[in-house]
Structure 1
Amino acid sequence: MPQPAVGDIRDPRMLRAMAHPLRLRILDAVAFCGSATATEVAEQVGESPANCSWHLRQLARYGFVEEAGGGTGRQRPWRIVLDRHRWGPGGAESTRVGQAAHQVLLDVEYQALREWLGNRHEESPQWRGAGFLTQAVGWCTPAQLAEIGAAINEVLARRLPDPIDPEARPLDSRPVRFIAWGVPARPSEPATADDG
């Protein structure tokens, strides 16, 4: 199975355009549908079609979505261009915008996790049993940490079908969110008598 394309974001304006809570929900809606009009997106995200149309045009301006062909105006379908993006340290503005983007993305993912935990009792036994949350702490060198991150990305790329092509999705499948991080921990400072 080919690995999904990854877009490198170098322009802080592009990152700023994507790092907006509503735009992230819009991107999810379009990705989940395969293609969707502003009206269809609006129904999924609880916003007006006009507002969604404006945000879709902004996302298109920076290459996150494109017209899928057919339709006009608000009945024009849009599709995701790339499902995966990455960015890293850059200049001062890129670093500041990147930190804000990470915060927005984590807020969206935390909300999705909280919703799952709060509503999983409503899911079928199969989905309740399949969902997971895992946590670990280990000692790693920078090279080992990089190797673990690459292995996680490789597993996801190998196991997951093309997220953009609805025809590649297995029967009875549904969108599943994955998030993982490996960040160096700061050891706790030992307590002193003054802390008491």
Structure 2
Amino acid sequence: MAIAHPLRLRILEAVALQGPLTATEVAQLVDESPANCSWHLRQLNKYGFIAEVEGRRGRQRPWRMVVDAHRWGTGEESSELARAGDAAAQVLIELEYRALREWLATRRRGTPEWRDAGFFNQAVGWCTPDELNELRAAVTELFAPYLLRIEDPAARPEGSRPVRLMGWGIPAEAPLAGKDTEEEARE
């Protein structure tokens, strides 16, 4: 899977936040060699995560983010693709956890409007598979207008800045009737 590599995630983030960027510009942002970044950029392009900016070629070829929903872990996939998807998910989740932990540790140093606007929600609800699919689609639709601003800097409102958006809904095991803890449930 193209994004299971930690450097590729750093490159994607640089292009999303600062792009369009050439391999040399990416290299400066991620502290890697331009040749190495160029190779990874081509791999990300091969799998549809980024694209060349029209009209420029060679060493001065900038790359832009492609905003598209990439989803894996569904349907009948090969065991190799499943393992790659699981690895990519682990890398992405670790990146997002790290960003959340950093924000929690440093948010009090931010301006009040950004500090107070930031949030994270945690909840447990009861859903059917159809309802969970509907929730996934609604969250995806909710994020969409903000993601499009990655590709079109002119669409970014005055005073806006990058914001990490993440949501998940995963099946949880319900406790057995009358059992309060996981350990009691196993007895």
> Normalising to structure 2: TM-score of the pair?
0.84
- Look up the equivalent residue of 1:126 and give its one-letter code: E
1:49 equivalenced with 2:49 (yes/no): no
Count the aligned residue pairs. Answer: 178
- Aligned pairs (5 A) from 1:148-159: 148-158=135-145
Pick 1 or 2: higher relative contact order, CA cutoff 8 A, min separation 6: 1
Matches of 1:122 and 1:43, distance apart in 2: 27
The separation in 2 between residues aligned to 1:156 and 1:116, in whole angstroms, is 20
Which of the residues 61, 67, 70 maps onto 2:56?
70
Measured in 2, the distance between the counterparts of 1:97 and 1:49 equals: 26
The answer for unaligned runs of 5 or more in structure 2 is none
Indicate yes or no: 2:105 matched with 1:118: yes
**Corresponding residue for 1:12?**
none
- Higher mean C-alpha displacement, 62-71 vs 27-36: 62-71
- Contact preservation (8 Å) 1:41, 1:49: yes
CA RMSD of aligned residues (A): 2.2
Match of 1:60 in 2: 45
Shift in CA distance, 61/147, structure 1 to aligned 2, threshold 3 Å: closer
- Among candidates 90, 115, 127, match of residue 140 of structure 1: 127
Residue 64 of structure 1 and its aligned partner are, at CA, apart by 2.1
Structure 1 residues not aligned, in runs of 5+: 1-15
The answer for the alignment partner of 1:13 in structure 2 is none
Equivalent position to 1:85, from 62, 70, 74: 70
Structure 1 residue runs of 4 or more that deviate by more than 6 Å after TM superposition: none
The 1:84–1:33 alpha-carbon spacing in structure 2 relative to 1, beyond 3 Å, is farther
Partner of 2:166: 179
- Per-residue CA deviations over 1:47-77 (Å, capped at 9, x if unaligned) read 222221221122122232222143632x321
Identity %: 57
Residues 67 and 147 of structure 2 are in contact (CA less than 8 Å); yes or no, is this contact kept in structure 1?
no
In 2, distance between residues paired with 1:100 and 1:159?
27
Quick check: 1:29–1:41 contact (8 Å CA) kept in 2?
Answer: yes
Aligned partner of residue 186 in structure 1, secondary structure: coil
Work out whether 1:108 is the aligned partner of 2:91. Answer: no
Aligned to 2:23: 38
Mark the CA change 1:125 to 1:71 in structure 2 (over 3 Å): closer, same or farther: farther
- CA deviation after TM superposition for structure 1 residue 174, in Å: 1.0
